Structure 1
């Protein structure tokens, strides 16, 4: 295994290729990504909790390998346990494999902090129940939700086929009036290419789950260069790896 410029262990829910596709479209040359899948059955509160309960066992596969960072790439899956759940997951992952770790939620919170974002307009592919859970979690972290709309999907087979133009139209219809930014939630959808068009259209920063996860992972590996196509966040410094 190479990866002389960094090695990332990427844990993603189920069989969706979306997160891997987005990572490989943006990571610099010389960074290696090893992907593992954690069993995932339904895009529901119970389904997310069951999936997240399996993450530590998945991370344990990497013990003894020279990885620099483990990334659990799921937004609601790293929120579903309530306030502080992303930090508890990180502790479980690190205990299982002995490697520094982040979750998508951790990455998002650091992105919001780096840009000074306090009030969000949010669009998702999720059901109302998941949207409400996400809203509660963000509120516990001091992030207000100005508006939130979802597509209502609960089938894991449907989410990867949500088209970027569908999310673009949803975001434009909702707008970002009175909000600091637009947030497109879910690592299971590929929406990196609509970040810059939406920033130009809405006049606010646009944050997506995979964008923030990749940004945070690369910054922790020490990369400080601008990340193409990532809008305002792509030019923003982030934390170094511990």
Structure 2
């Protein structure tokens, strides 16, 4: 096993509850090759609504979680939330992670930034988005991607209002969302929302559409490994980890 990968620890700041069990399940599957200690950041209201998401991603909530996470001695830290980062816009999302970096003194990124970096790493330009969120929230993600140089061919929005509900979605429902969001001229399908389980299903989701599928929890782990100096080649984790 790659010695560099063996000692990579990606600390996760995860808002509330939804699909947080995705990460320890991945740790077990990889036999300890990657450590993913997780700290739950506080949540005011579980709502996919812009004002609630701006509160969710506030500097105060992230700072509290970052101070707790520092005790796990991570190599890098991820703000493991898509909507609570992209609603701040391109510059705001950068300011968000810079604020955490000042506290932990480590490389820090977020799920929204990770999506853009993953698309670039795969050499993609045109994608479809299959979002769990209401459309008004999902359009903020589309704009974030466009600011990152990613063309969005189609947006599928499923109007799910809470992270708690997203966390109950099973593999077939998620695969249906991916299929319904795909369009012929998209090179990949992006599935935001870290409240959605996906890490055990990545190859199946790609088989459903015959192209790369990037999910929030997947790109969060990938980006954490990338900025933390670990290997990003893992089996069973989709095209992103096979590149």
TM class by smaller structure: 0.7 to 0.9
Residue number among 9, 12, 20 corresponding to 1:10 in the alignment: 12
Q: Is the 8 A contact 2:11 2:78 kept in 1?
A: yes
Structure 1 residue 28: Cα displacement: 5.2
| Normalised TM-score (structure 1) | 0.86
Task: Show the 5 A alignment for 1:61-140.
Answer: 61-63=68-70, 66-140=73-147
| Normalised TM-score (structure 2) | 0.86
Structure 1 counterpart of 2:178? 171
Structure 1 residue 212: Cα displacement: 1.1
The alignment's C-alpha RMSD in Å is 2.3
Secondary structure (helix, strand or coil) at the match of 1:84 reads helix
Q: Is the 8 A contact 2:11 2:36 kept in 1?
A: yes
The number of residue pairs the alignment matches comes to 234
Distance in 2 between the 1:140 and 1:176 partners?
21
Structure with higher RCO (Cα < 8 A, 6+ apart): 2
CA deviation string 1:27-73 (max 9, x = no partner): 55254332111122222111111010021232123456632111110
Query: 1:23 and 1:13, CA in 2 relative to 1: closer, same or farther beyond 3 A?
Result: farther
Query: 1:141 and 1:98, CA in 2 relative to 1: closer, same or farther beyond 3 A?
Result: same
Structure 2 counterpart of 1:34? 37
Return 74-83 or 14-23, whichever deviates more: 14-23
Secondary structure (helix, strand or coil) at the match of 1:177 reads coil
* Stretches of structure 2 lacking an aligned partner (at least 5 in a row): none
Structure 2 counterpart of 1:200? 207
Structure 1 residue 198: Cα displacement: 3.4
Residue number among 211, 214, 235 corresponding to 2:218 in the alignment: 211
Return 3-12 or 142-151, whichever deviates more: 3-12
Q: Is the 8 A contact 1:26 1:227 kept in 2?
A: no
Return 148-157 or 113-122, whichever deviates more: 148-157
Q: Is the 8 A contact 2:8 2:229 kept in 1?
A: no
Structure 2 counterpart of 1:239? none
Structure 1 counterpart of 2:53? 48
